[in-house]
Structure formats: C-alpha cells, structure tokens
Chain A
C-alpha cells in the first residue's frame, strides 16, 4: 500500500507488424510494418522503439526529459543494451533492470516506491522486446526452418513507457507487491507459461491473503505473458485456493494477438508484451473511464541460454501493481 500513490502522467506504446495486426491495434501509438524503425540492425530498432515510446509519453505528459528524476528501463538483450542506448539521449539518472518479461512491472514497483518516499517527483518506466533480437538471443536464427510446439510463445515486438509523477489526476498506482523467485522445476523453454505461473500464483495469493481482497473487487486481473498454458494453470490453481478468477482474469499474451488466427501457438511473450498492453490498451481504457481498478501482475522467466544448456530449471518471478482511477478508497 502506497501512502502517496503516484499518478500516471503520460504513457505511450510502440509495436511491430504482427502486434499491429492484432485485436488491440487501435490502442497503440506507433507501429512500423518493417519492424526496423529506420535502423540497420534489430538491436538498434529495439532501442529506437524504447526511445520513441519515452519521447511520446513525455510529450503526452507535457514534460521534457530534463524534468525526469530517473529512468527505469529494461529489455531482454544481453546487458540490457536496448534500454541503455534508448536512455542515453535523455541524460537523466538511469537504472537498467533485468526482470525478463516482468521488467515493466518491476520498474513500476521501484519507481512507485521512490516516488512514494519523495526521493523523486517524476520517473519514467520503460520496457521493450523485439521478436528478432529475442530469436537471436534465446532461440534460432530468424530464417532457420523449424517447427514450434503448441505451448511455445512468440516474443512480441513492442515497447511501452509510463511517466509516473507524485502529483496528477490519475490513474494512480495504489499498491505494489514485489515478487519472490519461485522455481517449480520446469526446464522446457517452449513452455514458459508453466514455468512462470507458479510465481504469479504465489504473488496473487500473497496479495489476496494480505489485503483480504477478492478477485471480484477488480475490473480486471491481468498477467503479463503467461499465454494459454499459464492462463489455464493460474485459473486451476487459484480456483483450488478458493479464488474464482475466471470472469475477471486475462493475460496480455492472449490479448495482444488473435492467438489462433495469427498462429501464435500459446500467445505472446516478452517485456514489450505487457508493457505495450498496459501503456496502450489499459491506460486508454482508464482514460475512457471503462476501467477503474486493475491488478497487473507481470511474470518473468529468469533463465539464460547457458542455464538452459546446463539443464537447469527456469526460475519464475511475478511483480504486482494495482492501478486505480481513485486516489483513496
């Protein structure tokens, strides 16, 4: 629970071709069907997506970069270069984060806590992923011909930015709950939903247990990128823990694409998946007053190509952020 809940002063989302062909297309600010964003490498393209989303969010908040206290950003590339190069031109204090696909919520948690404490008065939270950089980092070359299993997910080409401020008219970040690492021994890189779902379950049950709230208190409970598998697992386990979430629960990985129509197997994944969904779809629905109280739980699978090759299991994490249109109860 935050005593001085920070407000979302600006938000922006930038997506690639397949994401723009998906059901949420009208909610995104920018897209590029070449997915290169005017750059000559995929890595530069991902940085450019983050830079664009930061500048757009700043413009919407009517702020200039110099007014930011700090930038919290992350992506999936080695050493988080996507974020470092994107934040370079802003010349502001920078925190590079790696929370795999949970990065956007991780950044929001940290920024909210520091705004709440009064350490900063304005912060930016950024996260991105790019299908092509993630393929190169974690899987096979782009043109390599292979078949994917039905439980595999597609890394979204997407970036999202939130400008959080201590003063403003909402929506507000009312509560945050940082997650702990949960590892249930899953080693299958093609079933990340199953690897991350236990972490989401852990964070959710902790949150409901500590606050006494119930799923029906929310307009929407949104996980980051559990996909079809993780979504089903969460529904099963939450139900057996006494929380029936079926009516209010959805997953960004399932919302970003027309999963069957676009042949997305189990759905979308990546930092950008939930970043663009929250900084696009969710924020715009808050603006239209269609949403009032949302639980956002972004999940991350914290493995590396080396840990996978060494046969180690995939540790999961899930950070929770409650976004509300109201500043007080």
Chain B
C-alpha cells in the first residue's frame, strides 16, 4: 500500500461503523436501573420479613450475585448483556458473571488448575485494585481524621 501507517489508521478509523451509543446508553440505563430497582424491592421484602437491617445489607448483594450466577449458568446472562452492556456490567451482576463464566469454561482443565486457577482471570484485577484503592482511601480518611 502506498500510504503510511498513520494515514491508514486514520482511514480505518474513519470508515469503521461506530457502536450505536445512544441506543446502548439507553438500554444500559433501563436494564441497570431495573436491576437496582429489583434489588431495592428485595431489600424492602427482607425488611418486611423482619430481618435486621444490618443483615439485609449483606443479604441483598448475596441474592443478586446468586441470581446473576444462576443466569450465567443457565446461559442467558450473556444474551441479556449483549444488549444491556454497562447495565448488567456495572451492578454487582457483572462481577458475579465475570467470576462464574470462566469457572464454567475452565472446568475441562480440572477443579484445581481449571476452575480454581482461572476463576479470577477477569475479576482478579478488580479485586486487586479494589483492595489497593480501599487501603489508599482508608489511609487518606485516617490522615484527615488525625489532622482534624
């Protein structure tokens, strides 16, 4: 080709169709919102069942994680996520799916080196940097407290 790499890259970028951002954002808003509203409903349901509020706060994420795992296992989480995008990714459902889907895939390599080792290939970085940033946040919080 008689053009340089930069010109080619620009040409490729220009001709490539864009993702339908407005549609994607709208679907993400609706599905993500629906998941959160559903979780809120469960929260209130647990409270109605006279469970302590402190326990309910743990119980709600556990329920949502369980449901997302179940949907992943039954094979319809990815079909929903294909349309919902960030709507299923950002709530805790995305995290659940990211752990369960490699576990399902890698069971052919055994329970230790397959499921055990590869379960966190996607979620691993989230956990590592999540923990690190919470430590940094904690230190800043503590310092602010000391200074005050």
Chain A residues with CB under 8 Å of chain B are: 40-43, 136, 140-151, 182, 184-186, 191, 194, 198, 201-202, 229, 232-233, 237
On whether the beta carbons of A191 and B16 are closer than 8 Å, the reply is yes
Expressed in whole angstroms, the minimum distance between the Cβ of A40 and any Cβ of chain B is 7
On whether the beta carbons of B105 and A136 are closer than 8 Å, the reply is yes
Residue of A at shortest CB range from B107?
A41
On whether the beta carbons of B17 and A150 are closer than 8 Å, the reply is yes
CA distance A141 to B94 in the complex (A): 13
Q: Which residues of A contact B122 (CB under 8 A)?
A: 140-141, 144
On whether the beta carbons of A144 and B101 are closer than 8 Å, the reply is yes
Which stretch (B1-9, B55-63, B130-138) binds chain A?
B1-9
CA distance A191 to B78 in the complex (A): 21
On whether the beta carbons of A232 and B15 are closer than 8 Å, the reply is yes
15 residue pairs of the A-B complex, CB under 8 angstroms, read A140-B101, A141-B102, A141-B104, A141-B122, A142-B105, A146-B78, A147-B24, A148-B82, A150-B16, A185-B5, A185-B8, A191-B12, A191-B16, A198-B8, A229-B15
Expressed in whole angstroms, the minimum distance between the Cβ of B93 and any Cβ of chain A is 8
| Chain B facing A: main interface SS | helix
| Chain A facing B: main interface SS | loop
B12, B75, B77, B102 interface centre (most CB from chain A within 10 Å): B12
CA distance A140 to B118 in the complex (A): 12
**Mask: chain B, 35-75; 1 = CB below 8 Å from A; 0 = not:** 00000000000000000000000000000000000001101
Residue of B at shortest CB range from A195?
B12
On whether the beta carbons of B78 and A185 are closer than 8 Å, the reply is no
Expressed in whole angstroms, the minimum distance between the Cβ of B134 and any Cβ of chain A is 25
On whether the beta carbons of A144 and B5 are closer than 8 Å, the reply is no
A145, A182, A233 interface centre (most CB from chain B within 10 Å): A145
Given contacts A184-B5, A201-B1, contact A147 B17 (CB under 8 A): no
On whether the beta carbons of A141 and B1 are closer than 8 Å, the reply is no
On whether the beta carbons of A151 and B17 are closer than 8 Å, the reply is yes
On whether the beta carbons of A147 and B82 are closer than 8 Å, the reply is yes
Chain B residues with CB under 8 Å of chain A are: 1, 5-6, 8-9, 12, 15-19, 24, 72-73, 75, 77-78, 80-82, 84-85, 88-89, 94, 97-98, 100-102, 104-106, 108, 122
On whether the beta carbons of B18 and A150 are closer than 8 Å, the reply is yes
On whether the beta carbons of B89 and A146 are closer than 8 Å, the reply is yes
Expressed in whole angstroms, the minimum distance between the Cβ of A251 and any Cβ of chain B is 16
Given contacts A151-B16, A233-B15, contact A143 B78 (CB under 8 A): yes
Given contacts A186-B9, A201-B1, contact A144 B78 (CB under 8 A): yes
Q: Which of B18, B73, B85, B102 contacts A144 (CB under 8 A)?
A: B102
On whether the beta carbons of B102 and A147 are closer than 8 Å, the reply is no
On whether the beta carbons of B8 and A145 are closer than 8 Å, the reply is no
Expressed in whole angstroms, the minimum distance between the Cβ of B66 and any Cβ of chain A is 16
On whether the beta carbons of A184 and B1 are closer than 8 Å, the reply is yes
Expressed in whole angstroms, the minimum distance between the Cβ of A322 and any Cβ of chain B is 23
CA distance A194 to B17 in the complex (A): 12
Q: Which residues of B contact A145 (CB under 8 A)?
A: 72, 77-78, 80-82, 84, 88-89, 94, 97, 101
Q: Which residues of B contact A144 (CB under 8 A)?
A: 78, 97-98, 101-102, 122
Given contacts A143-B77, A184-B1, A191-B12, contact A149 B105 (CB under 8 A): no
On whether the beta carbons of A237 and B1 are closer than 8 Å, the reply is yes
CA distance A142 to B78 in the complex (A): 8
Given contacts A143-B104, A184-B1, contact A194 B16 (CB under 8 A): yes
Q: Which residues of A contact B73 (CB under 8 A)?
A: 143
CA distance A191 to B12 in the complex (A): 9
Given contacts A140-B122, A186-B9, A202-B1, contact A147 B15 (CB under 8 A): no
B16, B84, B100 interface centre (most CB from chain A within 10 Å): B16
Q: Which residues of A contact B18 (CB under 8 A)?
A: 150
On whether the beta carbons of B15 and A150 are closer than 8 Å, the reply is no
Q: Which residues of B contact A136 (CB under 8 A)?
A: 105
Q: Which residues of B contact A146 (CB under 8 A)?
A: 78, 81-82, 85, 89
Q: Which residues of A contact B100 (CB under 8 A)?
A: 143
Expressed in whole angstroms, the minimum distance between the Cβ of B113 and any Cβ of chain A is 14
Residue of A at shortest CB range from B84?
A145
Expressed in whole angstroms, the minimum distance between the Cβ of A34 and any Cβ of chain B is 13
Expressed in whole angstroms, the minimum distance between the Cβ of A151 and any Cβ of chain B is 5
9 closest Cβ pairs, A-B complex: A145-B81, A185-B5, A141-B101, A143-B101, A144-B101, A150-B17, A194-B12, A141-B105, A41-B108
